[in-house]
Structure 1
Amino acid sequence: MRQPPCGNPRAAIFEQLGIPAEFTPYLTDTILDVDGVDHARLRKLVSRTFTVRRVHELRLRVEAIAADLLDGLPERVDLLAEYAYPLPITVISELVGVPKADRPEWRKWATALVTMNRETIPGAMRDMVAHCRDLIARRRAEPTGDLITGMVAAQEDGAEVLSPAVAHDSADRLTDTEIVTMILTLVLAGHETTAHLVSNGTLALLQHPDQLDRLRRDPSLWPGAVDELMRFCGPVHVTRLRYATEDVELGGVTIHAGDAVQSVLVSSNFDPRVYEDPERLDVTRKPAGRGDGHVGFGHGAHYCLGAALARQEGEVALHALVDRFPALALDGPTEWVPLPGSHRLTALPVRLA
C-alpha cells in the first residue's frame, strides 16, 4: 500500500491510543495492507488453508461446534456472547493453532482493539504479541498440524513463501514478526467479523419474519441468503485507506497520485443501479452478474482470504439456530456499537423458547 507524503495516518492514530511504536507494525504491515510481491507471498503462505475444498472438508466440524454451543444455551441468552462469538473463534483457533485455554483472552484483546480503548489497548497488544511468539516457540519445539506449524516450517524452508527472484536469499525469508502479524490478522479478522455477520443476520431475520419463514420452508435458499445478509447488514462498511499510485479519473473526478481513497462498501451494496429495491431484504435475491452479488468481502487482490469459511460459518450457524429453536424471538432492546465504518451490536438478547 503506497503511503502519502505525510506518512501513515493509522500509525499516528495508534500513537494517540498509547500503543508503543514497536507494536504498530503488527497492525499496519499486515496482509491487508501490503501490495504487490509482498502481498502475493504472504497470501500464498496461507491461501491453501482457506480454499473452497478445504473449507468444505471443515463443514462437519463447524456443524459439530454449532450443535455443542446450541446444546448449552439457556432459554434466555445474549446470543452474540454465547453463540455468535464462540463459534468462529473456535473454528479459526483450531485452524491456526490457538489452544482452547487461551481463547477467552483473544476475546478480551479483540474487544480492546475494536473499541479503541486507550486504557486497555497497549496492554492487549503487548500480551497478544508475547502470546503469539510463545506459540511460535512451542510449534518449533513440538510441531502439530496447525497453520502456525506450517508457517514455521515454511520459514525454515524459505522457498515456499518467496517470489522466484529471491527464493534463495535468506534475508527475504519469512520473519517471526511476519508470522506474529499473520496470526494476529487471521485470528482477529477470522472471528470478529463472522461473529457480527451471525448476530446481525439473526437480528435481520427476526425483524423480517417473512424472510425467515421462507428459509424454514426452503433450506436450499440458505447459501444465497447468507450473501444477501452480508449485503444487507454486513459488519464492515468501509475499507482501509488506499493511496493512488498514479493519476486516475473515476466518475468524472480526478484522483491524483498520493491521494487517499476509501471505498464505502455499504454504499456499493445498496446501489440502486445494481440492486432492485436495495433497502429490501430478499433471501431469494440472485447475484447481479458474476461473483457474490455484493462487495461485503471486498474485491480484487485484497478480496477476503477467509470469505468461503465466513460464508460457511454464517450458513451453518444461522441454519442450525433457527431450526433448533422455532420460537426464537428478541428478548430486549438492541444497540449498535458507535464505531465509524463498523456495523455491530453490543449484545443480542433473545428468548429461545
Structure 2
Amino acid sequence: MTAPTPQHESPDSATVSLLDPDLLADPYTGFARLREAAPVQRVRHLDGSTMWLVTRQDDVRTVLDDPRFVNDPGRIEGGPGDKRAQMITTFGIPEEYIPYLADTMLDADPPDHTRLRKLVSRAFTVRRVNALRPRVEEITDDLLDRLPAAAGDDGAVDLVEHFAYPLPITVICEMVGVPEADRPLWRDWGARMMGLDPASMSSAFREMIDHIHGMVEERRARPADALLDALIAVRDDDGDRLTETELVTMVLTLVIAGHETTAHLIGNGTHALLTHPEQARMLREDPALAPGAVHELMRWCGPVLITRPRWAAEDVVLADTLVRKGEGVEAVLVSANHDPRHYPDPTRLDITRTYDTRGEHHLGFGHGLHYCLGAALARQEGEVAFTRLLSRYPDLALAVPEDEVRWMPRPGLRRLIELPLRLG
C-alpha cells in the first residue's frame, strides 16, 4: 500500500470561523460535525489570521504532547515571530503590558516553563491539595448556608454569582495570599477578561497588573505566609530564578486560571446534572461516585473548548495533512472529548462511565507538558461542590425552562451567563 500524500491548503483557504453562530450556540454539535468532516482544517480568528484546527482525540494528544509543537513561536528560527503579541494588540492592550499576557507560564516552553512551574508546583501536589479539603468544605458549607438569602423576588438564586464563582476564587485567593477585601475586584476583572468587550478586557487587564504590583510592594513591607510571599522571597533572593515581570505574571496566572475554569465547571456541571435528573439522583444517593462524576462532567461539558495555540517548529504531517514550520495549530478539546473513536455513545452523560485502562481518559485538563497545574484542586472543589450542593438542597431545580438558560457566546469557552435555580 502507498502512504497517502500529505495535503496542504493555502493560508487563505480557511473554511471555519470561530465566530460561526452554530459553533457558538452549540459547540458540541458544531465541532463534532467538523471532526467527522476532516480531522485537520483551517480556522480563521478574530484578527483575521488563520491556523490549523485539530479535532480528533489522537491528533489532539499529539499536538499537546509532541515537542515539535511549541508554545512560543518566537523560538522558531525563520518562523512567524511573536505572533502572540500581535494577536494581543488586537484587544487594545498597551505595548508595555503585553509581556504580562504573552509571556506567562502557560505560553512558555522548556527550560523557562520548567523553571516557572517548579516554583509553584509543590503548592498543588495531591498531598497538599488533600490537606486543603476541610477548608474547601468549610467554604462550601458557608456559601450554601447563604444561598436562601440570595434569592430574588421570584425566589430564584443565581448559582453562578453566589456559589460557582465565590468557591474557587476564595480558595485560590487564600492560597496565593490575596487579601479578602480585594477579592471582589478579582471577580470583576475575571468576568471582564472572559467577556466580549475588547475595551473592558483591556482596562481590566491593566487594572489587574497595576494592582498586583501594588500588592507585591505591600507584602514586601509586611510579609505574610502565603504562596505570594514565597514567590517574593525567590525573586528577592535570586532574581535569576524569577524576574519582577514573571512574579507579577505568575500571580495573575494563578488567580485567574485558579478560579475561572473551576467556576464554569461547577456551573456547567450543575446544569448538566439538573437536566439529567437520574445522574443527579445517583450522585446524591452515593457521594462516593463524585470523583468519577467530576471526570465525566469535565469530559461532557468542560469549560475549555479549545487550547491555546501551538506552533510547528518543523514541518509535521498530522492526520495526512502537512503542517508547515511556523504554522499555528489549535487543539479542540470539546470534539476530542466527544470522539466516538474513544467513547461509546459519547453524547450520553454517564457519571458511572468506566474505562479498560488506567489514567485520565478525557482531555478537559489538557495533556502533556502543559497539563493543568491545578487539576487536583479543581477536581476536589468539584467533588465537594456537587455532593454538598445536592445533599443540602435535594429538590434543587432550574428556575427557568431549559431553553431559556443563557450561555455566553464566547469562542473557545463554554460558560453560563447565569444559572437561575430554585432551592426547593
Do the structures match in fold with TM over 0.5?
yes
Residue 114 (str. 1) matches residue 188 (str. 2): no
How many Å separate the matches in 1 of 2:113 and 2:333? 22
How many Å separate the matches in 2 of 1:347 and 1:196? 10
User: For 1:37, which of 111, 116, 124 is the aligned residue?
Assistant: 111
What secondary structure is seen at the aligned counterpart in 1 of 2:254? helix
Residue 61 (str. 1) matches residue 144 (str. 2): no
Matches within 5 A, 1:180-219: 180-219=248-287
Where does residue 207 of structure 2 map in the other structure? 127
Cα deviations by residue, 1:308-336 (Å, 9 ceiling, x for unpaired): 00010011011110000011000023111
Is residue 397–residue 423 contact of structure 2 (8 Å, CA) maintained in 1?
Answer: yes
Where does residue 2 of structure 1 map in the other structure? 72
Where does residue 4 of structure 2 map in the other structure? none
Where does residue 315 of structure 1 map in the other structure? 383
What secondary structure is seen at the aligned counterpart in 2 of 1:249? strand
Q: Mean Cα displacement is larger for which, 308-317 or 4-13?
A: 4-13
Letter of the structure 1 residue corresponding to residue 410 of structure 2 = L
Q: Mean Cα displacement is larger for which, 246-255 or 141-150?
A: 246-255
User: For 1:337, which of 400, 408, 411 is the aligned residue?
Assistant: 408
Where does residue 28 of structure 1 map in the other structure? 102
Shift of 1:290: 3.0
TM-score normalised to structure 2 length: 0.78
How many Å separate the matches in 1 of 2:384 and 2:246? 32
> Which runs of 4 or more aligned residues in structure 1 lie more than 6 Å from their structure 2 counterparts after TM superposition?
none
Which sections of structure 1, spanning at least 5 residues, go unmatched? Answer: 159-169
Is residue 177–residue 228 contact of structure 2 (8 Å, CA) maintained in 1?
Answer: yes
Letter of the structure 2 residue corresponding to residue 66 of structure 1 = T
Where does residue 276 of structure 1 map in the other structure? 344
How many Å separate the matches in 2 of 1:345 and 1:234? 12
User: For 1:242, which of 296, 303, 310 is the aligned residue?
Assistant: 310
Residue 105 (str. 1) matches residue 189 (str. 2): no
Q: Mean Cα displacement is larger for which, 286-295 or 139-148?
A: 286-295
Matched positions, count: 341
Where does residue 92 of structure 2 map in the other structure? 18
What secondary structure is seen at the aligned counterpart in 2 of 1:185? helix
Is residue 196–residue 410 contact of structure 2 (8 Å, CA) maintained in 1?
Answer: no
Letter of the structure 2 residue corresponding to residue 344 of structure 1 = R
Q: Report sequence identity in percent.
A: 56
Is residue 72–residue 107 contact of structure 2 (8 Å, CA) maintained in 1?
Answer: no
How many Å separate the matches in 1 of 2:377 and 2:368? 18
Shift of 1:291: 2.1
Shift of 1:173: 3.4
How many Å separate the matches in 2 of 1:287 and 1:131? 46
RMSD of aligned alpha carbons: 1.4
Where does residue 218 of structure 2 map in the other structure? 138
